[in-house]
A and B are shown apart, each in its own frame.
Chain A
Amino acid sequence: MINSLFLINPSGEIFLEKHWKSVVSRSVCDYFLEAKEKALEPEDVPPVIHTPHHYLISIYRDKLFFLSVIQTEVPPLFVIEFLHRVAEMIQDYFGECSETVVKDHMVMVYELLEEMLDNGFPLATESNVLKEMIRPPTILRSVVNTLTGTSNVGDTLLTGQLSTIPWRRAGVRYTNNEAYFDVVEEIDAILDQSGRSSTDLSTGTTVQRSWKSDPEVKGQASGVCVCVCVVCKLCYDWLTGTTVFAEIQGVVEACVKLSGMPDLTLSFMNPRLLDDVSFHPCVRYKLWESERVLSFIPPDGNFTLMTYHVNAQNLVAIPVYVKQSISFFECGSDGRLDVTVGPKQTMGKTVEGVMVTVHLPKTILSINLTATQGSYTYDNGTKLLVWDIGKLNPQKLPNLRGSLSLQAGAPKPEENPSLNIDLKIQQLAISGLKVNRLDMFGEKYKPFKGVKYITKAGKFQVRT
């Protein structure tokens, strides 16, 4: 299946290669590098590239390209998913996934890759199993290793014991038995300005009528007129925006450090909220289907227990509103920006970590803004304006305003940039999901249990 893997840094240097079948020359990457040159952003590189003899499937993650070489038919998602698994594994082992980390632990990464695939087919991809074969580095161990000259390859390997559960290693022992669950919800939303309907294509008939009445002259004029008006209207529209699309995506992250073979059952107060779910393989599907409880023997350590999507029928509470106006004057190379953020439906919690990110048009020359709260940074190279507000104070709404100057002679930007909002609410799952209880069977000790809720903004965009 997967023939070879190359790790490539953003500048195009291949710094690790691994072959599972016959060696494929690294010159095959040239096709990829060519495509990479063409793409404006690294994300724009096509994930699947067809070359005369090979297929290249790549992912871009943590500023690294993972490029796999395929020779025969294989489900592309299979490869993509595996590559992501590799990245996760590196992250899991070394804390982060970056070029330096991989270079520092070259041998270990290589060994991991050796274990993960056999002849191009995944062999061991569960972190728990891998960790039994190749022990992750710790500071203490690396010190010991340098002193004693041993390495991290597991020496327990030869016990001949294989865990019967592929995701859990055998013989786990902890002095403190703990199980923590983080329910993290993200709001994906697209907010829009209301009062935009006059430009709708769907209502174009009105325009057409006025047009037909006076076909020769006014038709054209009215068409233009409408557009101009709309721009004006938008400029001064202080409405808080309508929701085009909003949904809640959640994930239950678990950190389970329990001895032995615990069998956990996690139930929710209101499982009906969950519309669509996906599970870690340890969860018993059918039990969820019939009883809406998560019954599982957990892997050891950190893992994602489930991800879910909240029923779309439920209206999504949008915790903040954004009043904004970005306008450019038709004549003169000047524009104004005015953004206010305020709390909307926060369920009595404070909104923290509010951040507004704006990709300003390329024609902007400079900006001069003042923020009543927080601070803003502006990178003139990428035209990226980031306004870090922090905690939202309902009494005194944070505001950012000032002037934008355009390059001389540049035309007024076509589209106003959209705002990306970042926020965080502690101790709240915005969907109202609540964990009811966690029961443990199969072990005698009493575990310490904890649940934490966090709401975040996912892809939260305000169109202007």
Chain B
Amino acid sequence: MTPMQKLLQLPVNAMNMVKTAQDQMGQQDEAKSPVMTPDGGNHNWYNGEPNDPRHIRFGSGGGDQEERAHLEEGGGSLSSLVTQPLRHDDLKEMLDSNKDSLKLEAMKRIVAMIARGKNASDLFPAVVKNVACKNIEVKKLVYVYLVRYAEEQQDLALLSISTFQRGLKDPNQLIRASALRVLSSIRVTIIVPIMMLAIKEAASDMSPYVRKTAAHAIPKLYSLDPEQKDCLIEVIEKLLADKTTLVAGSVVMAFEEVCPERIDLIHKNYRKLCNLLIDVEEWGQVVIINMLTRYARTQFLNPNMNESLLEEGGGEKAFYGSDNDDDTDDEEDKEEKEKKKTEATAIVKRKPYVMDPDHRLLLRNTKPLLQSRNAAVVMAVAQLYFHLAPKAEVGVIAKALVRLMRSHSEVQYVVLQNVATMSIKRRGMFEPYLKSFYIRSTDPTQIKVLKLEVLTNLANETNISTILREFQTYIKSNDKDFVAATIQAIGRCATNIGEVRDTCLNGLVQLLSNRDELVVAESVVVIKKLLQMQPEQHSDIIKHMAKLTDNIQVPMARASILWLIGEYCEHVPKIAPDVLRKMAKTFTNEEDIVKLQIINLAAKLYLTNSKQTKLLTQYVLNLAKYDQNYDIRDRARFIRQLIVPTDKSGALSKYAKKLFLALKPAPVLESPFKDRDHFQLGSLSHLLNAKAGGYQVLPDWPEAAPDPSVRNVEVITLLERVTTLTSVPEWTKCSSREKRKEKKADKPFYSDSEGESGPTESADSASDTASGSESGSGSEESGSGSESEESNEESESASEEDEEEEGKKKKKNVEKIKARKPVPESESEPSSGEDVKKSEKKSKPRIGSSESESEEDDDSESESSESEEEESEEESEEETKKKKKTTASKPPSKPPKKENKKEKKEMSLLDFDDFDPAPSPSQVTPLNNFLSSSLVTDLEGLSLTDNVLSPTTIIPSGNLKTYELLHRITGEGLSVEYCFSRQPFSPDPHMVAVKIQFTNSATSEAKSLHVEDAKLQSGMRIKEFPEIEVLPAGETISVVMGIDFCDSTQAANFQLCTHTRKFFVSIQPPVGELMMPIFMTENEFKKEQGQLMGMNEITEKLTLEEKCQGEHAVVQRVTTAANLSRVPCGSDKECRFAGKTVTSGSLVLVSVVTKEDGAAQLTVNCEKMVIGTMLVKDIHQALTQ
């Protein structure tokens, strides 16, 4: 007893050792209770009676040994349960103690036991008590334990339920999630209703993480109690509508496990899933893509419909023909293809196939995932393309699949299996990557064989010589299984490609002289098959092989040769009897399989050439008659009766010739991967070529497409968009941004035309006609005239509505101009060059004209375009094509606007930070035309967008750009705009002055406008504007606030509060606004520039845009882009500017040296390299556009 208590503190191992020793000493004081009552009291009981006489029961030798064996093995079986209490006493005690550290230690040891696969179930009562432990670490381990053993000890597990239920109500999302996770994992049937309730509740939890956990819990509950299916489907339906990427993967997983047949649940979410896909985590992507593949197969038409109709015909032909389907004889193949082509075109003419835009959406949104690092994702996309894409597009997956071949050998194995299947159907796809399938001597055998399979599938007339040369190398390998496979592959190439049949045959014949028997044997077998195809031409080979019988010892090969000679004995009339003669001699020593073939040969010869071989046959049959093997005896008896005419067997012997010399069809050498593609590629079933449990059959394409409108969710989409902007973290939005971008890329035409068209670049969606009116305003000299004509043609579609809007707009314009005019005037142009001012004046009228579109921007851009973009995207491709035909250069009204939007998104992406829910107003919406255009350039500088995508001209203007802070609609009537006034902020010179203009367009007055709760990056500061007490309806008021951006383009986020509402807003400065002009002399400038060399100097060569080649234009554009002042300079070839950053006062020096033909060199010297680089980009943009 006392030594035991000491031992309690020892680790388990030590305990075991001691225990064993004790056992040997015969001190068997283990608990002998056959059924342990799993409560704490038990241990006292047995400690109290250490010398329980019942141990005698185990005294007999066998039992003792058994006992010890279990101890050493560490338990795990039921009988060892009996001995465990002793070993676990220490653990129980530790668990009962008050110290967390002891508990933790005990739990760690218990979990280690579980990990090692040892049974720790008897500790359940002791462990479950700690479920409510305060210590998070202990708690976690207890959870781990519970999940493992709750199923076995259901009653006791119930004790823990209340803890989880409490956890489900916890304010901390992680605790809620983990409580749900454990609750749903413990697999105790009795709590099904509780689980159901918890899942339902969690499905509408605020936190996406908890909702994700709920999605995970669904299949768990379903497997526990399938009767809950209906309820669960409801939850799934609800979660499917969830808009966060976090949930999407998990809920689709649940969908697949619970109700994969309820494809109707997907309709409404289809587009959303497609759009979210790129941001879902990898594992979810795989599941979603696989599910969408099935979905698409039920909802869309076969894009290869026309071909496949023909294919069926062709396929049938191949099936009945002698060869494999795609590898049919090449000429045939070609002809067939041509026929197909012509027929196909005919069909196309008859019934044009138009791909469903949703189908296209899926293909487009999955394509970038081919670049995933996760092999499973790549494979999933590959199979999607294989099963869903038009033939012409499937090719894109080849490259990605080939890339996977460099991965781990297991990945290679799976990928090669799939490539093998694909390469049968679509050989052309992998042909360019032929060499990637070359085999290395270090590859594992299974990989080698698969690569061989692929190479064989890829072989055609053009590459066969390379492939055969490669095969030639493989034949010399040491891996004999592989060599055999190679020879078979050569055989298959030979059957598939008629032209090389002779070559292959000869190559194989050469192999007959190989030293390795296996090689020879395999070659003989393959040659036999090849010869069967056209025996007449190859009597010499048969002769050659006949000679080999002397050397070849491999029974299979000998048998093959004999069969060949027998089969084609007419072709070798001289040799055949001789071979039989030789064989007769060695008959007794041959293997059974050879003996059978000797009998066979004898019989055939007897039938064709009985004169010469009669005696030999008799002899052979006699030998066989007394053979040890009954098969051979039987065969001999049977053949004798057949061929030797006797009285008894008259009936059959008549047919002997027919029986023996019937024409045998040539064997078909075909790929084992043929027709495997009826399984969904990438699936386990495909790999095993057998249906695995739970495999969802890939449905065939429907005859007619089901109603596509089921996927329409316009209204919801719109709402969703709005919410997305606020609730979804920034980065998830990149998908939509990227999508737009892609769309852009699809329309090179637009961006081209942008090059020519000056002022219309930021016209809004409805302004096709407006561009015409703009040109009418006459301020723009170039380009616009021609555009207006075209625009008239172009705008048929939009013009009707537009006209109305235009009317409205014009009215607004008037107001706008009034409202705006003071702004440019009040502002002081810092660089104070005369020319600048002049040009500014010049540009003023145009401000008005360009504003004609601006107001519309506010309304339509942010919302209507967003809602429309989903539909328009799909159409856009077709549309553009049409448009290309009709108009040579369409005024690029729509695209540039989109571009602006895109830029905006990008900007917000850059300043992304993780705790800020960046509300929609932070997306700066350009207020008027020319302003937004230069905004684009600014942002472009930040976001490094491609030049091609950006507008080419900027209206020269030194004016302020106004950005939107709060949209009228989001702000419930209150619209807020801001601009960087470029005036020093008097209360604090280190702040950038931001002028904020409130317009109350609501019917009621807004009260107490103020700033609150600024969430700023460290170092940033805000000087709030004084609270505006009342803003009457329809009034506009301007205030100035100061922001210290710390010389970064990070956005300043804060709340704008009215008496009723709070709005999250953010202000993001273009880099050019982070500085203020300083005055310098030329010498100073040179001196300072000299000090800021090297790292701090950034030089860029550029070509000035035509309109920008004058000095004035340069100056003006630079000062527009950045708040700098001009430094006088002697040369008119060079323009210099100077400024300093607002916060740190670092110098910013810019010089532009112009050369001939518009070439120029831009140099920026700045201590802050980041600012420097960004500035270079901005200015570069400003000068070249």
Q: Interface on A for B, CB 8 Å cutoff?
A: 1, 14-19, 21-23, 26, 41, 43-44, 46-48, 50, 55, 58-61, 70-78, 80-82, 84, 106-107, 109-111, 114, 118-119, 121-123, 125, 148-151, 153, 155, 157-158, 160, 162-166, 168, 170, 188, 190, 192, 197, 199-202, 204-205, 207-208, 211-212, 215-216, 219-220, 223-224, 226-227, 244-245, 247, 249, 260-261, 263, 265, 267, 275-281, 284-291, 293, 295, 297, 304, 307, 309, 359, 361-362, 411, 413-415, 417-418, 420, 437, 439-444, 446, 459, 461, 463
Is the Cβ of A285 less than 8 Å from the Cβ of B441? no
Stretch of B334-342, B1047-1055, B1100-1108 at the chain-chain interface: B1047-1055
* Chain B 110-146 interface mask (CB, 8 Å, partner A; 1/0): 0110111100000000000000000011001100100
Q: Is the CB of B376 within 8 A of A15?
A: no
**Complex interface: chain A residues within 8 A of B516 (CB):** 414
Residue numbers in A under 8 Å from B731 (CB-CB): 164-165, 297
Contact A205:B503 (CB < 8 A) given known A18-B115, A290-B741, A411-B515:
yes
Q: Is the CB of B281 within 8 A of A441?
A: no
With A107-B108, A249-B406: A44-B949 Cβ-Cβ less than 8 Å: no
Q: Are B515 and A77 in contact (CB under 8 A)?
A: no
Closest residue of A by beta carbon distance from B411: A80
Contact A205 B446, CB 8 Å, known A15-B116, A119-B220: no
A-B pairs with beta carbons under 8 Å apart, 26 shown:
A23-B151, A44-B446, A47-B414, A48-B414, A72-B692, A72-B695, A76-B683, A77-B375, A77-B414, A81-B375, A81-B411, A107-B141, A111-B140, A118-B185, A121-B253, A149-B102, A158-B172, A158-B175, A163-B914, A164-B729, A278-B372, A278-B403, A281-B373, A288-B371, A291-B946, A297-B731
Q: Of A58, A201, A279, A295, which one neighbours B472 at CB under 8 angstroms? A: A201
Q: Assess A361 versus B478: contact at CB under 8 Å? Given A158-B174, A278-B372, A461-B440.
A: yes
Given known A110-B144, A158-B136, contact A201–B468 (CB-CB < 8 A):
yes
B712 contacts A by Cβ under 8 Å: no
Flag if B112 contacts A75 (CB, 8 Å). no
Q: Roughly how many angstroms separate A331 CA and B102 CA in the complex, as a whole number?
A: 76
User: Given the complex of chains A and B, what is the CA–CA distance between A284 and B371 in angstroms?
Assistant: 11
Indicate if the CB atoms of A444 and B286 lie closer than 8 Å. no
B379 CB within 8 Å of chain A: yes
Q: How far is the CA of A423 from the CA of B409 in the complex (A)?
A: 22
Contact A414 B515 (CB under 8 A): yes
Given contacts A279-B371, A441-B1049, contact A73 B111 (CB under 8 A): no
A346 CA / B590 CA spacing, docked (Å): 61
| Chain A CB within 8 A of B665 CB | no
Query: 3 closest Cβ contacts across the A-B interface?
Result: A149-B101, A286-B738, A72-B694
Given A77-B379, A118-B181, A121-B250, residue A281 in contact with residue B944 (CB < 8 A): no
What are the residues of chain B within 8 A of A446 when measuring CB–CB? 1169-1170
A291 touches B944 (CB 8 A): yes
Residue of A nearest to B289 (CB): A75
Q: Which of A73, A82, A200, A463 has the most B CB atoms < 10 Å from its CB?
A: A73
In the bound assembly, the distance between CA atoms of A291 and B507 in angstroms comes to 52
Question: Which of B104, B373, B402, B683 has the most chain A CB atoms closer than 10 A to its own CB?
Answer: B373
Kindly state the separation between the CA atoms of A106 and B742 in the bound complex, as whole angstroms.
48
Question: Which of B438, B515, B544, B731 has its CB near the most chain A CB atoms (within 10 A)?
Answer: B731
Highest count of chain A CB atoms <10 Å: which of B220, B402, B406: B406
* Cβ–Cβ contact B684 & A70, under 8 A: yes
CB distance from B195 to the nearest CB of A (A): 13
**Residues of chain B with a CB closer than 8 A to A50's CB:** 688, 690
Cα distance A48–B690 in the bound complex, in angstroms: 13
One digit per residue, 1 when the CB lies within 8 angstroms of any chain A CB and 0 when it does not, for chain B 392-403 equals 000000011011
The smallest C-beta distance from B415 to any residue of chain A, in angstroms, reads 7
Q: Verify if B93 is at the interface (C-beta below 8 Å from A).
A: no
Given known A106-B115, A107-B108, A158-B174, contact A119–B216 (CB-CB < 8 A): yes
Complexed CA–CA distance, A215 and B400 (Å):
51
A420, B442: Cβ atoms closer than 8 Å: yes
Let me know if B878 is at the binding interface, CB within 8 A: no
Alpha-carbon gap, A107 to B445, bound state (A): 37
Take A44-B445, A290-B745 as given contacts and tell me if A122 and B283 are in contact as well, using a CB distance cutoff of 8 Å: yes
B504: which A residues are within 8 A, CB to CB? 201, 204
Name A275's contact: one of B399, B470, B942 (CB within 8 Å): B399
Residues from chain A with Cβ under 8 Å of B220 in the complex: 119
Nearest CB on B from A219, distance (A)? 6
Contact status B403-A107, CB under 8 Å: no
Decide if the interface of chain B is mainly helix, strand, loop or mixed.
helix
CB contacts (< 8 Å) of B185 on chain A: these are: 118-119
* B506 and A205 contacting across the interface, CB-CB below 8 Å: yes
CB-defined contacts of B413 to chain A, threshold 8 Å: 46-48
CB of B513 within 8 A of CB of A227, answer yes
> Are B478 and A414 in contact (CB-based, < 8 A)?
yes
Taken together as a complex, chains A and B put the C-alpha atoms of A394 and B373 apart, in Å, by: 39
B1046 contacts the other chain (CB 8 A)? yes
* CB of B510 within 8 Å of the partner chain: yes
Taken together as a complex, chains A and B put the C-alpha atoms of A226 and B506 apart, in Å, by: 13
Interface residue stretch chosen among B578-586, B752-760, B905-913: B905-913
Report the bound CA distance from A249 to B403 in whole Å.
9
Are the C-beta atoms of B371 and A441 separated by less than 8 Å?
A: no
Inter-chain contact B403/A442, CB cutoff 8 Å: no
Tell me, rounded to whole Å, the shortest Cβ–Cβ distance linking B356 to chain A.
23
CB of B225 within 8 Å of the partner chain: no
Residues 548-565 of B at the A interface (beta carbon under 8 Å): none
Q: Counting CB contacts under 8 A, is B209 at the interface?
A: yes
Distance in Å from the Cβ of B550 to the closest Cβ of chain A?
11
* B818 CB-CB contact with A under 8 Å: no
Q: Are A439 and B1173 touching (Cβ within 8 A)?
A: yes
With A46-B446, A215-B540 in contact, is A153–B373 under 8 Å at CB?
no
A157-B515 in contact given A19-B148, A151-B108 (Cβ < 8 Å): no
**Set of chain B residues within 8 Å of A279, measured between Cβ atoms:** 371-373
Residues of B within 8 A of A204 (CB): 502-504, 506-507, 510
A177 and B369 alpha carbons, distance in the complex (Å): 31
State in angstroms the CA–CA spacing of A51 and B392 once bound together.
Answer: 40
Q: Is the CB of B502 within 8 A of A73?
A: no
On chain B, the residues within 8 Å of A123 by CB distance are 216
Interface string of B1002-1019 (1 = CB under 8 A from A): 000000000000000101
> Is B273 in the interface zone, CB < 8 Å from A?
no
Q: From the candidates A26, A75, A211, A265, name the one contacting B944 in the complex (CB within 8 A).
A: A265
- Chain A hits for B683, CB < 8 A: 73, 75-76
The answer to whether B945 has its CB under 8 Å from any CB of chain A is yes
Query: What residues of chain A lie closer than 8 Å to B915, measured between beta carbons?
Result: 164, 170
Residue of B nearest to A411 (CB): B515
Q: Are B445 and A444 in contact (CB under 8 A)?
A: no
- Closest chain-A Cβ to B739's Cβ sits at a distance in Å of 8
Q: Which residues of B contact A74 (CB under 8 A)?
A: 684
- Among B174, B217, B515, B547, point to the contact of A220 (Cβ < 8 A): B547
- In the complex, are the beta carbons of B112 and A207 less than 8 A apart? no
**Chain B residue with minimal CB distance to A21?**
B223
A276 x B115 contact (CB < 8 A): no
CB nearest to B246 among chain A residues = A166
Q: Say yes or no: is B860 at the interface (Cβ < 8 Å to chain A).
A: no
**Does the CB pair B912–A442 fall under 8 Å?**
yes
User: Complex formed: what's the CA distance from A158 to B174 in Å?
Assistant: 7
Residues on the B chain within 8 Å of A110, using CB: 111-112, 114-115, 144
A418 to B402, CA, bound (A): 24
Contact residue among A17, A80, A415 (Cβ-Cβ distance under 8 Å from B477): A415
Interface: B198 (CB within 8 A): no
* Residue in B closest to A119 when the chains form the complex, CB atoms: B220
Given contacts A73-B685, A111-B140, A160-B174, are A200 and B216 in contact (CB under 8 A)? no
Interface positions of B from 159 to 206, Cβ below 8 Å from A: 171-175, 181, 184-185, 187
B174 to A157, Cβ gap below 8 A? yes
Task: Quote the shortest CB–CB distance from B211 to chain A (angstroms).
Answer: 12
By a CB distance below 8 angstroms, the chain B residues around A220 are 513, 544, 547
- B-chain residues with CB within 8 Å of residue A287 when the two chains form the complex: 738, 741
